[in-house]
């Protein structure tokens, strides 16, 4: 009598699961380069190390259970689980090599956008060849296992066993959305992780495990109480913003990937308007980076909310997923309640980063998005130019007329990739970026000139959202801090203003700083 592996289903299943754990533990460290792993290594006792390894096993078990539940084939379950984790590790490594951050849980929410907006995510390689290879592997390997590996589903009460296994595989995920379960699980997970640090957590737990742990905390943390505490720190005195009765205009211009390359020795760039406005500025300098090279929404939310990343906690990686949790503390909503008009202008698809849902929740009563611009990519290039955007902003301000007005503009013109064809005959990415930088400066000059002619107090805040992913120039940027200026214009401008030295500033302080210069009689929390 010949003994076969599948004659011992329980033992085989345990062995396949154990083998999966070993392979996953060995491959997880490849999510980031060894040098980065070493920099983010946390010293732990052997007892603590064993505990953290044990904390990873339930995550692996659930993934293994999924592949086992849909097949009842233990070897296929091991292959599926290993492939699943290795793919996540590979994606994390690819992301890190490109943008120096491992995979985070909120990236899952961007999957559809990655395929919908390939250029903006630099994902043009996700073409038909990619899909043929990916789907051939998934369905091809699965078909081979289904054909060659016998299932171990019991002969008696087979349907009941299928239901039980499906409940084991899917039940815990569904239970997370119950407050009865999510609260305690969240608190336990927070105790395991301690302070959230994406890189350190990836080193400690692996890519997918840390993604799951962060997701558990995101689901379990009830932001209402935290936001209530934050809102109590603000004093709602915005009606007194302009004590002498004039109705001010505040324009905030978030310039895509704007950083003055002259900081790094580039001598062929001329930015005369930025230089002139620096001399007129109430404050100017370098802005600390929320994230280097991408994720505009993180900087954008930091500016609009005035919240430090630690106050946003697990939401910091994708705050627009539940923007409504912060509606009572963000600047646009508070200004709107104080009688201000609030407008958000961004020449890109309104669904990108869920802005069509997030911005009204954050207090913007008017949005001007790509569908309101006369833009044809084949004629105008991939993005709306800063000069065209400036004309639309000026027209919107003039149409609004009098009244306290808060206008937030997020440009797109300088977004990568910086490929041939974007700026005439230029082919070098650095030359293309430099040309777009100078075009942004020209548009800034036009905007400032118009605002300065208005017979009302005007304040302009201009800043770069993050350093560009310009690997042809630097990878990484030696100093990712971008540039900002806070400039009084119109009747707010003092012609006796003398040039001031630069100051370093954080993005979450920018609006509060501007309002203090503008005469806001309230405190801004540090």
pTM over 0.85: no
- In whole numbers, what is the pLDDT of the chain averaged over residues? 86
110-114, 159-163, 398-402: range with lowest mean pLDDT: 110-114
Residue 436 has pLDDT above 90, yes or no: yes
Helices (H) and strands (E) in the chain, counts: 20, 7
* pLDDT reading at 231 higher than 60: no
Can you tell me the distance from the alpha carbon of 86 to that of 436, in angstroms, rounded to the nearest whole number?
39
Residue 120 — pLDDT band, cuts 50, 70, 90?
low
pLDDT at 403: 85
User: Residue 417: exposed, middle, or buried by beta-carbon count in 10 A (0-12, 13-18, 19+)?
Assistant: middle
Asked if residue 238 has pLDDT above 60, the reply is no
**Whether the predicted pLDDT of 176 surpasses 90:** no
- Tell me which H or E stretch contains 368: strand 366-368
Contact 95, 101 (CB under 8 A): yes
Residue 395 has what pLDDT? 94
- Is it the case that residue 520 has pLDDT exceeding 70? no
Pick from 29-33, 228-232, 486-490: least confident: 228-232
Secondary element (H or E) of residue 406 = strand 405-410
Model pLDDT, residue 280: 94
Mean per-residue pLDDT, 126-144: 74
Q: 419-438 burial string, b = 16+ CB within 10 Å, else e?
A: eeebbeebeebbebbbbbbb
Q: What is the DSSP string of 129-170?
A: HHHHHHHHHHHHHHHHHHHHSPP---STTHHHHHHHHHHHHH
pLDDT above 70 (res 125): no
> Residue holding tokens 């324009």?
251
pLDDT digits (tens, 9 = 90+) for 351-392: 988 899 999 999 999 999 999 999 888 888 899 999 999 999
Q: Which of 107-111, 121-125, 353-357, 456-460 has the highest mean pLDDT?
A: 456-460
| pLDDT band at residue 244 using 50, 70 and 90 as cut-offs | very low
Of the spans 189-198, 258-267, 374-383, which averages the highest pLDDT? 258-267
Distance between CA atoms of residues 446 and 272, nearest Å: 12
pLDDT-derived band of residue 241, with 50, 70 and 90 as boundaries?
Answer: very low
- pLDDT (mean) for 340-354: 93
- Tell me what pLDDT residue 459 has: 96
- Give the pLDDT of residue 6: 76
Cα–Cα nearest to 502, from 272, 250, 274, 289: 274
Largest Cα–Cα separation, the chain: 101
State mean pLDDT over 87-93: 91
Across the range 241-252, mean pLDDT stands at 71
* pLDDT at site 302: 93
Mean pLDDT is highest, among 227-231, 391-395, 498-502, for 391-395
């Amino acid at each position: 009598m010949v003994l076969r592996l599948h004659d011992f289903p329980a033992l085989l299943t345990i062995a396949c699961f154990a083998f999966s754990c070993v392979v996953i533990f060995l491959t997880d460290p490849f999510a980031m380069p060894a040098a980065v792993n070493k920099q983010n290594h946390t010293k732990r006792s052997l007892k603590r190390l064993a505990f953290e390894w044990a904390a990873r096993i339930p995550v692996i078990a659930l993934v293994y259970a999924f592949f086992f539940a849909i097949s009842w084939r233990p070897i296929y379950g091991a292959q599926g689980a290993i492939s699943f984790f290795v793919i996540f590790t590979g994606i994390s490594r690819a992301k890190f090599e490109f943008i120096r951050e491992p995979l985070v849980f909120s990236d899952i929410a961007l999957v559809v956008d990655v395929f919908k907006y390939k250029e903006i995510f630099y994902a043009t390689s996700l073409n038909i060849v990619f899909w043929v290879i990916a789907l051939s592997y998934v369905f091809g390997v699965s078909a081979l296992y289904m054909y060659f590996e016998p299932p171990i589903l019991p002969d008696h009460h087979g349907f009941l066993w299928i239901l039980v296994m499906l409940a084991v595989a899917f039940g815990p995920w569904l239970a997370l959305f119950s407050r009865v379960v999510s609260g305690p699980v969240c608190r336990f997970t927070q105790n395991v992780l301690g302070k959230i640090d994406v890189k350190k957590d990836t080193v400690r737990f692996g890519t997918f495990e840390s993604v799951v742990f962060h997701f558990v905390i995101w689901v379990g943390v009830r932001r209402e109480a935290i936001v209530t505490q934050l809102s109590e720190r603000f004093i709602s005195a915005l009606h007194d913003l302009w004590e002498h009765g004039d109705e001010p205009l505040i324009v905030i211009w978030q310039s895509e990937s704007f950083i003055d390359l002259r900081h790094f020795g580039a001598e062929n760039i001329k930015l005369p308007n930025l230089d002139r406005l620096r001399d007129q500025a109430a404050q100017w300098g370098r802005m600390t980076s929320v994230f280097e090279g991408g994720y505009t929404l993180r900087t954008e939310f930091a500016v609009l909310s005035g919240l430090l990343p630690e106050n946003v906690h697990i939401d910091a990686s994708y705050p627009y997923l539940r923007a409504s949790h912060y509606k009572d503390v963000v600047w646009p909503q508070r200004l709107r309640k104080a009688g201000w008009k609030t407008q958000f202008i961004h020449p890109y698809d309104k669904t990108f980063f869920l802005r069509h849902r997030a911005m009204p929740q954050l207090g913007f009563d008017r949005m001007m998005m790509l569908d309101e611009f006369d833009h044809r990519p084949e004629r105008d290039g991939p993005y709306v130019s800063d000069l065209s955007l400036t004309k639309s902003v000026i027209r919107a301000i003039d149409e609004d007329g009098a009244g306290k007005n808060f206008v937030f503009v997020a440009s797109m013109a300088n977004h990568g990739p910086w490929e041939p064809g974007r700026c005439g005959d230029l082919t070098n990415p650095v030359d293309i970026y430099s040309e777009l930088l100078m075009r942004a400066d020209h548009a800034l000059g036009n905007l400032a000139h118009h605002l300065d002619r208005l017979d009302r107090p005007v304040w302009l805040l201009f800043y770069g959202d993050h350093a560009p992913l310009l690997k042809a120039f630097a990878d990484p940027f030696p100093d990712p801090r971008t540039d900002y200026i806070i400039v009084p214009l119109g009747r707010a401008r003092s012609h006796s203003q003398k040039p001031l030295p630069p100051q370093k500033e954080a993005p979450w302080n920018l609006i509060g700083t501007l309002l203090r210069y503008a005469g806001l009689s309230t405190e801004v929390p540090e």
